Structure 1
């Protein structure tokens, strides 16, 4: 299995990874990425997101390395893998240093895209690398210390030409579990349809939600998403957002602006056979809406 798919690409391509972690001093996320624009220019970037700030650093293609045989991404002096990450950034007024170790990684049962992982020419492919893991270590971001002792973490990735034209995404972890749900407009065979992938990881068990498993979307608005799949019903309600602008890929270039709430207030309810599996009011959820 190849862990990096950018080798051999020459135009309109991106591949990026999203590392989010929460400790006693707050939440920080990192998005290392590789890009090729429509003219064939290659470069890399790293976006840093906290509850206080968002900034990005550009790297040359020569400063980027991604392993084929295992999940390992390097940008300059920064290193990201399933085992943890090392940060060493100094760019303008911004400075980030620190080391994080990841333990007790919970991998998905199989590719989050299911059979769509085998379909060629898709605009964007989503990947979940860790449903939930423990984070240990310390970061210093622009003078603010972030300590992680029994912290929580999550890792996912995307690759293709562009982010979906319209989509929403939410992610939340908590002690012993996590949730991710993405609903997007998918171009396929000359048409477009609304597709859904996600999971509920609870008590050591992954409950997969997806269009390819028969999920039904009953309501999709920014304020509320309701869906069902077999005997499972799920409701997501955005209570209060705190969004910040991020760069996102369009034809390989990072010239699209989206808005992500790294930590905001979201209510999740999951029921199975009429019984409540999870009822969670989280003030540490991630949320994006661009539909």
Structure 2
């Protein structure tokens, strides 16, 4: 387990957030939810804990607020508790009943594929994950796992037995002002995981574009494309009005082309200087097509996922087309 999964905010006093993202898709693909436990400290030092939920089918979202003393997270392992709710790499247990709504049940995770760790496998941010004073840090915990259990969401019983999931987290001061994020684990061609993010990253009074992408089919094919390993993002296009993006990644071990289409989503709260008052729209039923080729141009994976997570955060209606970066 990568240490970034552990709680990082023990000594933070203000302008800080930390949240873990659990994506859950049922075997019949009738149910798709994301559950986000976390904490935040505003510029005045006021603290809160929360559990956010999004139902991809209806687009409805819930923001359950908890007093900060109800939040407890370990710094030596991935283990988070908020009141009567618990979250870790083995599963999650929910018992929420607030004025906002209710969510109850237990899910356990099996056949997990954690993100690789070790000196040869730095976190998804690579060396940038070690740089102090970054606005936001990102970590992938599970690329893929299988699920057992059921969830009762506002009286609707959701069967997740045989389903699959994904876990990641973010922590720092604020989400990037402009960014795009994609994540897919359901592909028609078979089990695989793909994650891509591109953002304008502020650092020491400057700003630079950065991106990363990671693909694995769990059968020996693994590719990483990122700013820090001298990969290139070619033919980059994104349109917030249409909810689309496309690009071609070229790296040391091949190339990956992708296209994505936003589906209906729900509004989630996101941090700005530790204040959870920014709204972002997230879909977890977006459609993603990708094609992976080796250095000889041979196609080694090509497929479509219709249960992808997707967020586009640019100025409303902006269309960006860039040949390369």
TM bracket (short chain): over 0.9
The C-alpha deviation readout for 1:70-115, integer Å capped at 9, x for no partner, is 1011111111000000011112251111100011221222311111
Once residues 45 and 230 of structure 1 are traced to their aligned partners in structure 2, the CA distance between those partners, rounded to angstroms, is 41
Aligned with 2:81 (options 74, 78, 83): 74
- Per the alignment, residue 251 of structure 1 pairs with 273
Aligned with 1:185 (options 200, 203, 219): 200
- Per the alignment, residue 260 of structure 1 pairs with 282
SS of the residue aligned with 2:128?
Answer: helix
1:109 corresponds to 2:116: yes
Once residues 114 and 286 of structure 1 are traced to their aligned partners in structure 2, the CA distance between those partners, rounded to angstroms, is 22
1:209 corresponds to 2:225: yes
Preserved contact between residue 103 and residue 152 of structure 2 (Cα < 8 Å): yes
1:43 corresponds to 2:48: yes
Once residues 12 and 148 of structure 2 are traced to their aligned partners in structure 1, the CA distance between those partners, rounded to angstroms, is 36
**Structure 2 counterparts to residues 7-18 of structure 1, below 5 A:** 7-18=10-21
Aligned with 1:33 (options 22, 31, 38): 38
Preserved contact between residue 196 and residue 215 of structure 1 (Cα < 8 Å): no
**Structure 2 counterparts to residues 75-224 of structure 1, below 5 A:** 75-92=82-99, 94-110=101-117, 111-174=123-186, 175-205=190-220, 206-222=222-238, 223=244, 224=246
Greater Cα offset, 228-237 or 150-159 = 228-237
Once residues 300 and 154 of structure 2 are traced to their aligned partners in structure 1, the CA distance between those partners, rounded to angstroms, is 40
Once residues 37 and 253 of structure 2 are traced to their aligned partners in structure 1, the CA distance between those partners, rounded to angstroms, is 38
SS of the residue aligned with 1:149?
Answer: coil
Once residues 77 and 244 of structure 1 are traced to their aligned partners in structure 2, the CA distance between those partners, rounded to angstroms, is 25
Displacement of 1:256 after TM fit?
0.8
Displacement of 1:145 after TM fit?
1.6
1:236 corresponds to 2:269: no
Structure 2, unpaired ranges of 5+: 118-122, 239-243, 315-325
Once residues 221 and 54 of structure 1 are traced to their aligned partners in structure 2, the CA distance between those partners, rounded to angstroms, is 29
Structure 1, unpaired ranges of 5+: none
- Per the alignment, residue 307 of structure 2 pairs with 284
Once residues 218 and 76 of structure 2 are traced to their aligned partners in structure 1, the CA distance between those partners, rounded to angstroms, is 31
Displacement of 1:280 after TM fit?
1.7
Displacement of 1:240 after TM fit?
4.6
The C-alpha deviation readout for 1:232-259, integer Å capped at 9, x for no partner, is 2222212352122111000001111111
Once residues 282 and 176 of structure 1 are traced to their aligned partners in structure 2, the CA distance between those partners, rounded to angstroms, is 10
Displacement of 1:260 after TM fit?
0.7
User: What RMSD, in angstroms, separates the aligned Cα atoms of the two structures?
Assistant: 1.5
Once residues 37 and 93 of structure 1 are traced to their aligned partners in structure 2, the CA distance between those partners, rounded to angstroms, is 22
- Structure with bigger strand share is 1
Preserved contact between residue 176 and residue 204 of structure 1 (Cα < 8 Å): no
Once residues 279 and 140 of structure 1 are traced to their aligned partners in structure 2, the CA distance between those partners, rounded to angstroms, is 36
TM-score, scaled relative to structure 2: 0.86
